[in-house]
Amino acid sequence: MKKKLLAMLGVTVLLVSSLAGCSSGSKTSETAAPAAEETTTEESTESADGQKTIAFVPKQLGNPYFAAVQDAVEAAAEENGFLFETSAPDSSVDIDKQISICDAYVSKGVDVLILIANDSTALKDVTDKAMEKGIAVFTVDSGVDGDNYVSYIGTDNYAGGQMAAQWMGENVKGQVAVIDGAGGNKATTDRFNGFMDKIKDYPDIEVVTSDYGNGDMATSMTVAENFITAYPDLAGIFTCDDIMAQGAGQAIQAAGKKDQVTICGFDGSPDGAQAIIDGLIDATIAQTPANMGKTAVEEAVKYLNGEDVEKTINTPIEVVYADNAEDYLNWH
């Protein structure tokens, strides 16, 4: 069981928010990074007609959220005349594979690296290397430690966690549990911390336990089963993404406790919205991954043209529940 003691000051929540999709279109030169050991060139990937290359490295294959970011990055890259390449690990906990992929793109000499980091600390060295080589690094959704990158585009995840706590505090009384993502995942850690800090404002709620779900539905189902075994009076579960929320929902439903346990996820995915409509979960905090991907490319264009770029660009977030779930059956 993971235990976290949080000492950050509570702040008011502001409404300010992967399968690597199949590549298509004439601008896409390839869909996988070469193995690092196969990459020897230190030259730019700029083509003979002056096209520059954007490489996109999400956390993992098989996650629709990251696919939504990728689709937007690829479309914006093509619209702005870039070549586009992408590759990703099979799992969000395969940090070494993500580092290897980024290393290969750095060695290849792409012009822009757009990264959703699996581990904010572990990926820092390779992003530092990229910046030192003149590759413009943009982090999306989940950033890296330090400030040696061009820009972070994504949710204020701490504020999103607070938004979830506020919704939970207004809709639940009693014992609550939390399912975090994976250790080292900055995005889900910030959501966890924001939730834990804000939930202190609600004396009728007691957070009794937490554990890692690793962004996996089956793992989160098992975690939720353990929660309700240890705490049969459990009243609520907050999960740091929608995949984990659905796993928790399946466990609660199988235990016959759906009317007892309220579940709030995070992402605002189409599957999460459908789960709300179906009654499997109760709410989610919606992000805008398509907006993130498009914005990352637009900021890359500005940067390469010598224009100023904001260091942090927070994209919108919103609570999704039964009344507005149909509006989120497609990614925003």
State pLDDT tens for residues 174-230. 999 999 998 888 899 999 999 999 999 999 999 999 999 999 999 999 999 999 999
DSSP code string of 270-284 = HHHHHHHHHTS--EE
- The pLDDT value recorded for residue 325 is 98
- The pLDDT value recorded for residue 46 is 63
User: How much is the mean pLDDT over the chain?
Assistant: 88
What b-and-e string marks burial along 93-132, b requiring 16 or more CB atoms within 10 Å of the CB?
Answer: bbbebbbbbbbbbbbbbbbbbbbbbbbbebbbebbbbbbe
CA-nearest of 177, 319, 167, 192 to 248 is: 177
- The pLDDT value recorded for residue 62 is 83
- The pLDDT value recorded for residue 32 is 41
Domain map of the chain by residue range? 36-154+289-315, 157-287
Q: Report yes or no: 217 and 244 within 8 Å, Cβ to Cβ.
A: yes
Cα 265 from Cα 100, distance rounded (Å): 31
**Which one of 3.40.50.2300, 3.30.390.50, 3.40.1380.10, 3.40.50.300 gives the CATH number of domain 157-287?**
3.40.50.2300
Q: Is 297 helix (H, G, I), strand (E, B) or coil?
A: helix
pLDDT in tens, 171-189: 999 999 999 998 888 899 9
- The pLDDT value recorded for residue 72 is 97
* pLDDT over threshold 60, residue 29: no
Cα 63 from Cα 45, distance rounded (Å): 28
Q: Is 25 helix (H, G, I), strand (E, B) or coil?
A: coil
CA-nearest of 249, 202, 243, 214 to 228 is: 249
**CATH topology classification for 36-154+289-315:** Rossmann fold (3.40.50)
Mean pLDDT, residues 77-99: 96
* Window from 90-94, 105-109, 205-209, 289-293 with minimum mean pLDDT: 90-94
- The pLDDT value recorded for residue 282 is 98
* pLDDT over threshold 90, residue 12: no
* pLDDT over threshold 90, residue 28: no
pLDDT in tens, 39-63: 333 445 565 567 999 999 999 988 8
Tell me if 36-154+289-315 shares its fold with 157-287: yes
pLDDT in tens, 237-288: 999 999 999 999 999 999 999 999 999 999 999 999 999 999 999 999 999 9
CA-nearest of 243, 254, 251 to 224 is: 251
- The pLDDT value recorded for residue 47 is 59
Share of the chain above pLDDT 70, in %: 85
Paired with 211 in beta bridges are 179
Instruction: For residue 9, name the pLDDT band (cuts at 50, 70, 90).
Output: very low
- The pLDDT value recorded for residue 183 is 86
